[in-house]
Amino acid sequence: MATRKPGNSRPRSAAVGTMGWVMYEGPSLLDGEPIVVIATRFSANNKTGEIGGKDHEDRNMVQTWIMRADMSPTAASRCDADKSVCGNCPFRKAGCYVEIGKAPGHIWRSYKAGKYDRSLEASDIAHRVIRLGAYGDPTAAPIEVFERVMPVRCTGYTHQWRTCDQQWRKYLMASVETEAEALQAQGMGWRTFRVKTHSERPVAGEVECPATLSDKVHCIGCQLCDGTAGKCKLNVCVTVHGKNQATFIERHEGAK
């Protein structure tokens, strides 16, 4: 992924006015069930966008949402159907920081109401930074879905790093929970993003997530989590946070 320098001319969105696009509707590569991939233009998360910045696209990351096409994220979670988009993520049933009834639920309802454009072109987002998987694992969809419109800058993560198309290493970080998992993923050519407890420290070749260390650092500007195609070769770790951190700590301690 090349880095676009500030000040370079950038194409304007060809779809000014739309709030997002349907990128893919089809079978999940994880279990064959129907899923949808939606890209939204703006973010209400102050780490990935500027709240109230809808007049300034470059201050927001394009967000992508991978969801079941036939039921809401909440319903999918209740009946275990979210494995179609979350796969073997250990946080799927307990510990996920995403409140699926909020943003993912709103995105799904808007999709069902036909509010998203179906004509996404590379020029619509080529000048933007894209977040691969605001909800759901990007590897549930074919990599070509994203590559045909991929901007020069992105961030993203996958728990399917053992089994997915290994080309995803270019764009995604391997999500891991232990040093042993990190070493395994790194041995397969991945850069890793490791969740750690409060008492653990970064290991050799690892840097703590800058956006969690300072309110002045935002993901849209940091972009460390951009797979192997970016300039950074370090791995990243983050201290567990959010309302479900106790679940992670209990599982983590039990695995030792």
Percentage, residues of the chain above pLDDT 90: 59
* pLDDT above 90: residue 255: no
* CA distances to 181, 247, 251 from 255, in Å: 12, 13, 6
Indicate if the pLDDT at residue 14 is higher than 80: no
**Can you give the C-alpha Rg of the chain in angstroms?**
17
Quick one: pLDDT band at residue 160, thresholds 50, 70, 90? very high
The parent domain of residue 78 ranges over: 20-255
104-120 tens-digit pLDDT:
999 999 999 999 999 99
Q: Is 244 helix (H, G, I), strand (E, B) or coil?
A: coil
Residue 13 lies in a domain: no
- 1, part of any domain: no
Q: Is residue 9 in some structural domain?
A: no
Give the total number of structural domains in the chain.
1
Task: Write out the E strands in the chain.
Answer: 20-27, 34-40, 62-68, 129-135, 153-158, 173-176, 192-196, 206-208, 235-239
Residues ≥6 apart with Cβ < 8 Å to 145: 23, 24, 37
Q: pLDDT of 121-133, one tens digit each?
A: 998 888 889 999 9
CA distances from 96 to 78, 169, 180, 208, 222 (A): 14, 23, 21, 20, 23
Q: Is residue 7 part of a domain?
A: no
Assigned domain for 12 exists:
no
Give per-residue pLDDT as tens, 68-98. 999 999 999 999 999 999 999 988 877 677 8
Q: Is the pTM of this model over 0.75?
A: yes
**Predicted confidence (pLDDT) at residue 13 exceeds the cutoff of 50:** no
* 5 in a structural domain: no
In this prediction, residue 67 carries a pLDDT of 98
Residue 6: inside a domain, yes or no? no
In a domain, 226, yes or no: yes
